Structure 1
Amino acid sequence: MLAQLNRTAFGRASSILSTVCAIYPGIALAAVVGLAALFLSEHYGAPVMLLALLIGMVFNPLAEEAAVAPGIGFSSKALLRAGVALLGVRVSFSDIASLGVAGFSAIAGLLGGTILLGLLLSRRDWQSGVLTGGAVAICGASAALAISACLPKGKVLEQETLFTVVAVTALSTLAMIFYPVALAQLGFNEAQTAFVLGASIHDVAQVVGAGLTVSEETAELATLIKMVRVSLLPLVLCILVLAVSATGWKERTHRIPVPGFLIIFFVLALLANIGVLTEAMAEFAATVSKWLLILAISALGAKTSLRSLTTVGGSKLMRIGGLTLVLFGASALIAQLLPGLS
């Protein structure tokens, strides 16, 4: 009996070791790409996700090698889901409550309306619609990765995800530059400007950057509004999982169970808000999440050639751009109507 247990334990250890050896080269490649992207981002101010994606594409021929492919696949799937799960520590129930019913309803309405418009514009391609609509409505690249993790897997979905990440990151950077100028020309006050910036710019970093061009107070309020949008991500993911599970896909012969990473997301959000997780622990989890998402997007970039990405089509770029402009216009209109901002 003891000999059998020893053989079983040794066999499991050997299996784990062989798996680690198989995925190590691909993870190492993703890590090198991620470090390069982070270095360039810190020195030149470009979005790290976009840099990781573009640098990763350069290594596409290497990523297709048999020695590297398993680790690239692991990074683009398992590490992606782990990074999304750790995003739960960023959800703040107090931030949601501080806006009041009117402010929260306005943000939720903008978010839901943007996703619905994305679905309408996508016509029959509902996966592309919810992916682009959710990325624009919630938090750019992070939302695109999280939504993609909940959808049925496929090569087309990977290309759509990469294209969406590139588009929303580029548009978010342009918005950081031009939105504050446009709002100043329209005569918006600081509170109204903060609302529009937080409710319409895709990525958190660009929201902060745009707010700081006006004032620190504007940046703080804009970031608060932006984080409320981020806090709605788990609700969107739950609805998406339930919808896909209920309707199925292909020939309706499969079902998608509730993903484990989504459960962890909720648990971490709850623990962070009731005080079980200290601020230092939450900060550590957020940092790990950022690194895992950088590794995942580096691997996704390495899996996709630039030529295949161009096959996604200009119509999808127009859709993302149109959604971005509609969200900006609707946010500006609501900012003028909310009594607390005038």
Structure 2
Amino acid sequence: MNRQAENFYAGDLFGELHQADAAIDAAPARLGWSDYLPGLVVCSVASLAAAWLAEHYGFPIILLGLLIGLAMSFIASVEVTAPGLDFASRHFLRAGIVLLGLQVTFAQVAGLGWIAFAGTMLVMACAFAAAIVAARWAREGREAGILAGGATAICGASAALALYGVIGRDRLDRARFSVALVGVAVASAIAMSAYPAIAQGIGLTDKQAGFLIGASVHDAAQAIGGAYSYSDHAGADATVVKLARVAMLGPVVALVALWLGRGEGGTNSAWRKVAMPWFIVGFFLLLAVNSVVTIPEALTGPALTLSKALLLLAVVATAMRSQLGLLIEAGWRALVPVAVASCASFVVALAVAILAID
């Protein structure tokens, strides 16, 4: 990439700042809140627009946020917005991931029963493996497969954001990340509508349909909503299956961090090899607290809303900093891992539902 064409500020999802070589010394040592404000305002307005459109027209909010952010990617060339966009993509992302820990408990995972739990883990493993194989075939690299596989296997955009945090921009550029995120959002939206209809057409029971939808639809809200459109019983089962997948976010991200080892700006010390990202530790801590203490709905409900809002802001900020030229260069090959992983997830989940779920 021609570094002279880069923005004054550019960064990976967590926003480590990089300047053009000629301007490194000119970077401010400290930034005040007034420096962050322009970027945060622009990002917030775009996110509110995505939320309004999603509410009134029924489109997935993450997909709308991505598209609006990409359409406004010219904003990243305005120097004054860079610190705020960087702050949103880094801190809002981490906080949003941590708050997801309040949405699931160990008891809910245990309540699946060993057959359904084993089936869910099988679906996740097959989706992950299929994405890595497809990425290699498409010559997109191992990291693109990990991102697509994790997003498909766990919880869509939230998992993609968390995984990109440990993959880093040095291994996978923002353009391919944005393409993968769009692919995951589109695939999840299609699945939410198509899978209940397929389950109805082949005569699955409520429990089988709940497992199929909960184990194969990427986004949590769309998985639960699609299952409830089938029946209340299917919706209840799908909720537990989906929450079990969400609970795997921490372990999977931790394993990926160990697998990949040294990242951008990182070290190769023994501690770095075994340490989990702090936001995953926070996710685990809240999950543990939620498992042993009954947290009232008055707190968990707003926490989920806040988590979604923070993740939306992070997605929009990241999309705004993506260069459209690189998106075009990424091409259709960047979508192959997501498509293959989605198909594998559905096929395996359907097989488990028919053969193992009564």
Q: TM-score, normalised by structure 2?
A: 0.84
Report the alpha carbon displacement of residue 58 of structure 1 after superposing the two structures with TM.
1.9
1:73 and 2:86 equivalent?
yes
**Alpha-carbon distance change, 227 to 216 in structure 1, aligned in 2, over 3 angstroms:** same
**What is the aligned partner in structure 1 of residue 17 from structure 2?**
none
**What is the aligned partner in structure 1 of residue 43 from structure 2?**
30
Identity %: 33
**Alpha-carbon distance change, 214 to 244 in structure 1, aligned in 2, over 3 angstroms:** same
Q: Secondary structure in 1 aligned to 2:78? A: coil
2:331 aligned partner, one-letter code: G
Report the alpha carbon displacement of residue 70 of structure 1 after superposing the two structures with TM.
1.1
**What is the aligned partner in structure 2 of residue 182 from structure 1?**
198
Q: Secondary structure in 2 aligned to 1:68? A: helix
Alignment of 1:154-233 (within 5 A): 154=170, 156-233=172-249
2:234 aligned partner, one-letter code: T
**What is the aligned partner in structure 1 of residue 115 from structure 2?**
102
- 1:45 is aligned, of 45, 55, 58, to 58
1:286 and 2:304 equivalent?
yes
1:242 and 2:258 equivalent?
yes
Residues of 1 paired with 2:171 and 2:150: CA distance? 20
- 1:93 is aligned, of 95, 106, 114, to 106
Q: Please list the CA deviations of residues 194-240 of structure 1 after superposition, one character each: whole Å capped at 9, or x if unmatched.
A: 11011111112221232233212212211221111111111101111
Q: Secondary structure in 1 aligned to 2:80? A: coil
Report the alpha carbon displacement of residue 107 of structure 1 after superposing the two structures with TM.
0.5
Q: Which has the larger helix fraction?
A: 1
Contact kept? 2:39, 2:81, Cα under 8 Å: yes
Max radius of gyration: which structure?
A: 1
Report the alpha carbon displacement of residue 59 of structure 1 after superposing the two structures with TM.
1.6
Aligned length: 323
1:118 and 2:136 equivalent?
no
Gaps in structure 2 of 5+ consecutive residues:
1-28
Report the alpha carbon displacement of residue 329 of structure 1 after superposing the two structures with TM.
0.9
- 1:61 is aligned, of 69, 74, 77, to 74
Q: TM-score, normalised by structure 1?
A: 0.88
**Alpha-carbon distance change, 191 to 36 in structure 1, aligned in 2, over 3 angstroms:** same
Residues of 2 paired with 1:97 and 1:24: CA distance? 45
Residues of 1 paired with 2:38 and 2:170: CA distance? 23
Q: Please list the CA deviations of residues 50-96 of structure 1 after superposition, one character each: whole Å capped at 9, or x if unmatched.
A: 11111111221122211001111111122211211221112221111
Farther off after superposition, 156-165 or 325-334 = 156-165
Contact kept? 1:86, 1:265, Cα under 8 Å: yes
1:174 aligned partner, one-letter code: I
Report the alpha carbon displacement of residue 153 of structure 1 after superposing the two structures with TM.
2.9
